[in-house]
Structure 1
Amino acid sequence: MGSITDSFSDLSLNSAQELGALIVGAGFGGVYQLKHLRDAGYKVKLVEAGADYGGVWYWNRYPGARVDSSIPVYEFSDPALWQTWSWKQRFPGSAELRAYFAHVAEVWDLRRDTEFGAFVESAVWDDGESKWTVKTKKGDIYKAEFFLLNTGFAAKRYIPDWKGIDTFKGNFLHPSYWPHEELDLKGKKVAVIGTGSTGIQLATDLAPLVGELAVFQRTINTSLPMRQVDYQDGEQEIPRKDYPDFFRGRTDSFGGFDFNFIGRSTFDDDPETRRELYEKLWAEGDFKFWLATYQDMLFDPAANREAYNFWRDKTRAKIHDARVRDLLAPMKQPYSFGCKRVSLENGYFEIFNESHVHLVDVNSTPIEEITPKGIKTSEKEWEFDYIICATGFDSITGSLKQIDIRGPSGQSLQEHWKKATYTHMGLSVSGFPNMFFSYGPQAPTPFCNGPTCAELQGDWILGLMNHMRDKGLKKVEVEEESENKWREIVLRLANATLLPNTRSWYMGDNIPGKPREPLLYLGGVPAYYKTLGEAAKNGYTGFKLE
């Protein structure tokens, strides 16, 4: 542990800012905690690597970037915010989301306690003081009783180690590093590598603009119709008088939305009734065909195949070319529907009917290298002006492991999670006292709407801190046994579904060398909310407080 303490040697610890809590990350989780911890009387500071609020929406500025959770689901429940804010679209774009965060910052008066441009690089726990010493890359030091990480599940970018990236004479970029100034893409030759939600949004928006577009696909994305709505004159999805009940209902939904799986199984209905339900969900858009369908869709292979076949037939009808049709929506189901991240689309499949848009199957013609002119596959060399690497993130655990966090034993969090991920309730880790994170591993994270999770977990963390303050306690730490039991629950829930049979970032499959394991809690938001509540009611079971 000497190397860590040595890193502070050129700076006096006497200059460290003393805090009750240091919050990392200015997305939904971080700003919620800043507001509510400060209201509760804690001396608190928020540090953010970017230059403004928004979390992932500060970074995501690429063409087509927008959220795929509808409003008012995707906003805070505080009346002071929604009474003075109107959305322009059912699924807001990134610029509108940044404007919303600016509204939140103003109403909640956040800027006076926020430090931007502050990337946290290390944190060390001092057992004698019961405090964390946290250092940023620019040299600021904080000593905090609580270390609250809200780094999100998509903060560490992933770019495959292709040969020749540095030789490319055009522009090579990851979408999360999209320049703030507008790029001159009109008439250009552009490659989009990847068909996750980012790749789909990018390709859809770029197709009408560029001269030639090639989309490099490894795996199909079972995208669903978004059904975008533009609002006029301040109208919103539901009347504002219904908002309080609406927000209270989010914790009753499996995904923290305003809909749920229906209480019957796929083959309880005859084929005609089943198709009527599918058609209804399809027409409503959103994630309803995924998360408001039959209760056995993610569990029973036959039920899952029924859902895929309906999706396949609907999607194939949009695509003219037979080869492209078979690549985008193959007759044979390639993986369990809904067990890779489902995206929402606005005309994505139709772009491949345009003569200047090409689909490259990297399974049959893999990328061999990046050349000065473009991309060389096993079939040919493509020439491009821009290569957009929409290859995603080291999701869920990557953003936490990129910080050198060390508990009293000197072991780093990265070392603690080297072979497998362990948490208690997806909130905290054994051996790292007074440290909590939101929207992280082994919580409902990827299956939970962001603001719902931010409020649910933020309130619980604040409740624990208040309990400790009332009791005069200084230290809280996860018991190792409870961490092991929570992992068993996470594995048991995941293994009851079809998810482990599918390669996805839900399982850590997108990062070479990363342990393959379920990284999310699949019990749903209501069960998770109940578990947290019971732990608090019973004196914070699973934790040692002193």
Structure 2
Amino acid sequence: MSKVQEFDAIVVGGGFSGVHQLIELRKLGLKVRLLEAGSGLGGFNSPRLTTFLPSKCSDSPNPVYQLSDPDLWKDWTFSEKFAGGEEIQEYFKYVDRKRDLSRDISYNSLVVSAAWDDAANRWTVTTESGDVYRAEWVTLCVGISARNYVPTFKGIETFKGKIQHTYNWPKDYDLKGKKVGIIGTGASGVQVIQECGPIAEHLTVFQRTPNLALPMRQANLDPKAEENKKKTMRPYEFGRMSQTLSGYLKDIEPKSALEVTPEERVLCWEDAWEKGGLLFWTSTYGDIFFNDEINDLAYDFWKQKVRERINNPEVAELLAPSKKPHPFGMKRPSLEQNYYEIFNQSNVKLVDVKKNPILEITPNGVKTSDGTEHELDVLVLATGFDMVNASITSIDVRGQDGIPIKEKWADGVRTHLGLGTAGYPNLFWVFGPQHPLAFSNAPSSIEPASDWVAKCIKYCRDNGVQSITATNEAQEAWNEQVQAVGKMGLYYKADSWYIGANIPGKKREMLQFAAGVPTYIKALNDSAQNGYSGWVLKKATA
């Protein structure tokens, strides 16, 4: 057994939240260790993530997809509006160099368990390789998509070709000249389809639910213009991020869509559409989240725009159906660049698996209920992830009563402020369950949560508090608020991962806080300003 390594704090995960937390805890003078499952920072080096697809980009535009510390952006410039995976890796290497982070990081360290010792007031954290760490404080910064999902397919073990899930895409994997099948049209499916369509001998896409994707409008950034913005506008841009519902620079329209003329409404949507990214979803009329009538109009606008790009009317009906498959935006829209045009190619076939379900995987391909056997060399599983809470429950986390958190949450997630849960002292997470998550730009909601955790730890250390844990009453109240916001909207009308509906048997519940970044920040501040209300603070005994 490895020697136990002692630290003040352990941070698990090296994406935005883990890096920010490491930086903030260092400022407190703590001895900190960050444990990262992959070989580098940024969440793009983990063996459990889609990492090397050329089209893998952030869906948050620059400059907001980076840390707001001026020292970390004043001499860094992204080259594209939406940073690609390789450039994001380079950005995190730059942050590492600036802050000398790697001296406090253990790479290739997949955390498998964390157990609280009430008598010692310490967590014991163990990695897959057997390394053991003890610390007073643990912050889980494991993101929301650390656990992939593969449905049960009859005969999958008989397939003679290569099967590849998008969660661990190989860096040098070549689909050129191959017969490729892709099951799934979520975010990673859209990426693979765009990359594969132009180079495959034949591409068969098995679609269950169409992806209501939005145009990315990728663009190169002018380095000179970006440098000028750093001197003038950038501080205002970063300041604005905490003031908008979604954490992007443009907020939702101040008026209801019902208060404006049809002409004004359409022109607003057109402007957002042409600018690209998620603006059509995040920064037009808030009504689309809770008003079916306006949501229908938004869907019709989207449908018309998409159908203009598809040649075959039957294919258009599958990709952009006459009747919306679910309320627009109640599944997070993916961003695309030429996704719909791919289906105009003669080497691409779209299979509707609602009409013709997959019966089995055969040695040579995929057989559907109409009797067709689709011959394949490669089968790509873009079947998604067990999102949000599974990133935490996949770790064997045991608190004061020794019960795994997975069991505690089997009948529903419970947190206070999306930061911690009752019975698990000195354990926080950033960008986890019941946090704004996919309803916001990631850094916009990560930074205030990470700041809160660091300030809470400082408060505890300054005031002789040895442990802090959420109260049952506070987490029930927070859960009621999370669920109430979800029920105000149209979220339960879509079988999305927002409510856990993409995983068979998983409890249907709102897994994220959808009331917006400013409301979330206010809740954080209110708790801190009231002596950390909603938390039990245990003082050290003499």
TM-score (norm 1): 0.96
> Among residues 449, 464, 487, which one is paired with 1:472 in the alignment?
464
Structure 2 SS opposite 1:457: helix
Q: Kindly provide the amino acid, as one letter, of the partner of residue 237 in structure 2.
A: F
The percent of aligned pairs where both chains have the same amino acid is 43
- The equivalences for 1:326-365 within 5 A come to 326-365=317-356
Q: Please state if 1:493 is matched with 2:481.
A: no
1:310-343, Cα deviation, whole Å (9 max, x unpaired):
0011111111101101000111122111101111
- The equivalences for 1:69-84 within 5 A come to 69-84=60-75
Structure 2 SS opposite 1:240: helix
> Among residues 393, 404, 425, which one is paired with 1:433 in the alignment?
425
Tell whether the 8 Å contact from 2:365 to 2:375 is kept in structure 1 after alignment: yes
Q: Distance in 1 between matches of 2:383 and 2:472?
A: 35
> Among residues 400, 405, 414, which one is paired with 1:408 in the alignment?
400
1:74-96, Cα deviation, whole Å (9 max, x unpaired):
00111222112111110111111
For residues 237 and 498 of structure 1, do their structure 2 counterparts lie closer, same or farther at Cα, with a shift above 3 Å needed? farther
Tell whether the 8 Å contact from 1:121 to 1:137 is kept in structure 2 after alignment: yes
Structure 1 SS opposite 2:120: coil
Tell whether the 8 Å contact from 1:62 to 1:176 is kept in structure 2 after alignment: no
1:342-367, Cα deviation, whole Å (9 max, x unpaired):
11110111111111011111101111
Residue 7 of structure 1: aligned partner: none
Tell whether the 8 Å contact from 1:86 to 1:235 is kept in structure 2 after alignment: no
Q: Which stretches in structure 2 are left out of the alignment for 5+ residues?
A: none
Residue 190 of structure 1: aligned partner: 180
> Among residues 54, 57, 66, which one is paired with 2:57 in the alignment?
66
Structure 2 SS opposite 1:312: helix
Alpha-carbon distance, 1:238 to partner:
7.3
Q: Kindly provide the amino acid, as one letter, of the partner of residue 305 in structure 1.
A: D
For residues 103 and 363 of structure 1, do their structure 2 counterparts lie closer, same or farther at Cα, with a shift above 3 Å needed? same
Residue 298 of structure 2: aligned partner: 307
Structure 2 SS opposite 1:17: strand
Q: Kindly provide the amino acid, as one letter, of the partner of residue 452 in structure 1.
A: S
Alpha-carbon distance, 1:210 to partner:
1.1
Q: Distance in 2 between matches of 1:208 and 1:367?
A: 25
Tell whether the 8 Å contact from 2:39 to 2:45 is kept in structure 1 after alignment: no
Alpha-carbon distance, 1:236 to partner:
3.0
Q: Kindly provide the amino acid, as one letter, of the partner of residue 356 in structure 1.
A: N
For residues 526 and 117 of structure 1, do their structure 2 counterparts lie closer, same or farther at Cα, with a shift above 3 Å needed? same
Tell whether the 8 Å contact from 2:176 to 2:200 is kept in structure 1 after alignment: yes
Q: Distance in 2 between matches of 1:63 and 1:392?
A: 19
For residues 225 and 94 of structure 1, do their structure 2 counterparts lie closer, same or farther at Cα, with a shift above 3 Å needed? same
Q: Distance in 1 between matches of 2:227 and 2:407?
A: 46
> Among residues 398, 416, 420, which one is paired with 2:390 in the alignment?
398
Residue 200 of structure 2: aligned partner: 210
Tell whether the 8 Å contact from 2:179 to 2:201 is kept in structure 1 after alignment: yes
Structure 1 SS opposite 2:465: coil
Task: Figure out how many residues of one structure are paired with residues of the other and give that number.
Answer: 533
Alpha-carbon distance, 1:234 to partner:
5.1
Alpha-carbon distance, 1:57 to partner:
5.9
Q: Which stretches in structure 1 are left out of the alignment for 5+ residues?
A: 1-10
Q: Kindly provide the amino acid, as one letter, of the partner of residue 286 in structure 1.
A: G
Q: Distance in 2 between matches of 1:492 and 1:474?
A: 34
Q: Distance in 2 between matches of 1:51 and 1:196?
A: 26
Which deviates further from its counterpart, 302-311 or 204-213? 204-213
For residues 228 and 171 of structure 1, do their structure 2 counterparts lie closer, same or farther at Cα, with a shift above 3 Å needed? same
Structure 1 SS opposite 2:153: coil
Tell whether the 8 Å contact from 2:44 to 2:89 is kept in structure 1 after alignment: no
Tell whether the 8 Å contact from 1:56 to 1:154 is kept in structure 2 after alignment: no
Residue 152 of structure 1: aligned partner: 143
Tell whether the 8 Å contact from 2:359 to 2:369 is kept in structure 1 after alignment: yes
TM-score (norm 2): 0.96
Q: Distance in 1 between matches of 2:374 and 2:430?
A: 42
Structure 2 SS opposite 1:54: coil
Residue 42 of structure 2: aligned partner: 54
Q: Distance in 2 between matches of 1:393 and 1:212?
A: 26
Residue 540 of structure 1: aligned partner: 532
